[in-house]
A and B are shown apart, each in its own frame.
Chain A
Amino acid sequence: MNAALLLADQGHRVYLVEREARLGGIAATVRTTLEGDDVGRYMSDLVETVQSHQKIQVLTQAIIVDHKGMPGRFTTGIQTGPRMHYMQVEHGVTILATGALANRPAQYLLGEDDRVLTQLDMDAKIEDDPESIRSMKQVVMIQCVGSREPGNPNCSRICCQSAIKNALRMKALNPDMQIYVLNRDIRTYGFQEDYYREARKQGVQFIRYEPDRRPAVRALENGLVVDAYDDILGCRLEISADAVVLSTGLIADDETTEDLSMLFHVPRSDDSYFLEDHIKLRPTDMSVRGFFLAGTAHAPKSIRESIAHGQSAAGRAMTMLAKHWINLGAAVARVDGAKCAACLICVRACPYNVPFINAEGYSEIDPAKCHGCGICAADCPARAIQLMQYEDDQILAKLDGLFERMN
């Protein structure tokens, strides 16, 4: 939405394609950030600005069904609305901001006992039902639930800060409450460290556990009991709790990213997030020209980071949109008419049906249509086709370079 707004404010028409009936994703359910920002108000303002923007068309309950074209001139088919009305949109760039999912693994009695919550649940509970927080005496938080383990090896990045955010808010409501945070290590990076220190000052207990000695949660009639092993004291602890809050973090929306990566031919990482072109040099661009990434579709991020990523995507997209001409590079196939035997092999082999036999009787490849895969060049029986930037001579020269010291 931030990327859309930035681009629209600069005069570009934006189609915002949302799978759900409303905008906002997970952020719309978050109430506050660690720094105390009012996320609810921010989101409702943002959604309203986006929806009422003259240059933005919001398509809700929409799915992408087909896609073709080239950078600067894509055509995407979208089915939208309750009646799945089909429409085609022509667009110059694509920003993928499909988000991630709030993880809810069935661990530590989550889903079985309603006294076991996620940080996201607790975030809402503090706001909606402060009385219940005031009545609690002890709360245990468990970090890294469903993260940093086989299946989801990532650190979800946001859990430590949401734990400390909720701990501080609970302490504010009920200063006598005892809070234990069972963690593998606390990753409150940057200035978030101040909040961690504040939490410690207020008496929140941080206890480390090792993945091979995980805590366990037992449900009793009159409360929950968490069994944990404290590495520093070297002894087992039994903590009774009125509530257990699990820091479950984010997981990639595997189904969505898989569908879209097939449609758009864009790569995904091992853990099903979309993959940037280069982790340091091009963190917002994708390997396919004209595709950009924003937010948690790329990796777990906080709301602030997602907004920054969205702004970055808009900035990168502008570099393409601002131009009247786009240079798509020179890696296109070129035919040497004198060598061509007009055998039709390139015509049949091209995945995009670009080559044709021209009036002079040899194969012709329109450089504006060529995608530069080089399949024709490798199949040409007359060696009449060269892919610029990857010519036979260049590849052979590389081989020469590799074997120079041997021969």
Chain B
Amino acid sequence: MTDAFEPEIVAFCCHYCAYTAADMAGSKRISYPPNVKIIRVPCTGKVDAIHIMRAFEKGADGVYVAGCLEGDCHFKTGNIRAAHRVRRVQALLEEIGMEGGRVEMITMSAGMGERFAQTAREFTEKIRALGPSPIRDAIRQSGRRAAG
């Protein structure tokens, strides 16, 4: 295949900050890379380590959890717990020989449309530099084997 690598990125966005910031980016006509696919959650505290792992298992090249600024969580401590879980998943990925940097915790307030777009761009570029997830390649390979 000759087509260039386009990272597949999942962003778990909390309803009160990051998701609204994404909306804000939209209404301000700020564009962000189409690589980023958003899944809305009520709070980043809802993002289970398993959800992040499953995203990688299904072929995500990068995952980020975007919540409120520290101290601003609508549910008091959800973003702090989410940050702990993200660190745990980073360690787990490294244990199986993947880059921990493929998962990240990002915070922003609801009004930060520009920051949403900017972090989406930065994260996409970071993952682009890391290259495709080995899992994604493996899924393709096994799919091809099965098909062939």
Residues of chain B with a CB closer than 8 A to A265's CB: 16, 72, 74
Residues of chain A with a CB closer than 8 A to B58's CB: 399-400, 402-403, 407
Task: Please tell me which one of the listed residues B46, B111, B143 contacts residue A267 in the complex, with CB atoms under 8 A apart.
Answer: B111
Residue interface mask A393-407, B partner, CB < 8 A = 1: 001101110110011
How many Å lie between the Cα of A375 and that of B74 in the bound state? 12
Residues of chain A with a CB closer than 8 A to B41's CB: 374, 390, 395
B117 at the binding interface (Cβ < 8 Å): no
Given A373-B78, A378-B81, A403-B59, A390-B110 contact (CB < 8 Å): no
Task: Please tell me which one of the listed residues A271, A331, A349, A398 contacts residue B42 in the complex, with CB atoms under 8 A apart.
Answer: A331
Task: Please tell me which one of the listed residues B15, B45, B72 contacts residue A375 in the complex, with CB atoms under 8 A apart.
Answer: B45
Q: B46 contacts A387, CB within 8 Å?
A: yes
Count B interface residues, CB 8 Å.
45
Q: In B108-141, which residues have CB < 8 Å from any A CB? A: 109-114, 136, 139-140
A287 at the binding interface (Cβ < 8 Å): yes
A270 at the binding interface (Cβ < 8 Å): yes
Residue interface mask B63-82, A partner, CB < 8 A = 1: 00000000110111110010
Q: A287 contacts B114, CB within 8 Å?
A: no
B87 at the binding interface (Cβ < 8 Å): no
Which residues in A have some Cβ–Cβ distance to B below 8 Å? 261-262, 265, 267-271, 275, 277-280, 287-288, 331, 349, 351, 371-375, 377-379, 387, 390, 392, 395-396, 398-400, 402-403, 406-407
Given A279-B27, A351-B78, A379-B81, A387-B39 contact (CB < 8 Å): no
Nearest CB on B from A192, distance (A) = 24
Q: B77 contacts A351, CB within 8 Å?
A: yes
- Main secondary structure on chain B at its contact with chain A? mixed
User: Which residue from chain A places its CB closest to the CB of B114 in the assembled complex?
Assistant: A270
Nearest CB on A from B78, distance (A) = 5
Residues of chain B with a CB closer than 8 A to A374's CB: 41-43, 45-46, 78
User: Which residue from chain B places its CB closest to the CB of A265 in the assembled complex?
Assistant: B74
How many Å lie between the Cα of A379 and that of B47 in the bound state? 9
Q: A378 contacts B46, CB within 8 Å?
A: yes
Q: B75 contacts A270, CB within 8 Å?
A: no
Q: In B30-55, which residues have CB < 8 Å from any A CB? A: 37, 39, 41-43, 45-51, 54-55
Q: Counting chain B CB atoms within 10 Å of each CB, which of A373, A374, A387, A406 scores highest?
A: A373
How many Å lie between the Cα of A265 and that of B76 in the bound state? 9
A sample of 14 cross-chain residue pairs with beta-carbon separation below 8 angstroms, ordered by A number, consists of A267-B17, A269-B111, A270-B109, A270-B113, A275-B110, A288-B74, A331-B42, A373-B45, A374-B78, A375-B43, A378-B85, A396-B51, A403-B8, A407-B143
Residues of chain A with a CB closer than 8 A to B50's CB: 392
B93 at the binding interface (Cβ < 8 Å): no
Residues of chain B with a CB closer than 8 A to A402's CB: 8, 10, 37, 39, 58
B107 at the binding interface (Cβ < 8 Å): no
Q: B55 contacts A399, CB within 8 Å?
A: yes
Nearest CB on A from B63, distance (A) = 10
How many Å lie between the Cα of A261 and that of B41 in the bound state? 21
User: Which residue from chain B places its CB closest to the CB of A267 in the assembled complex?
Assistant: B110
B60 at the binding interface (Cβ < 8 Å): yes
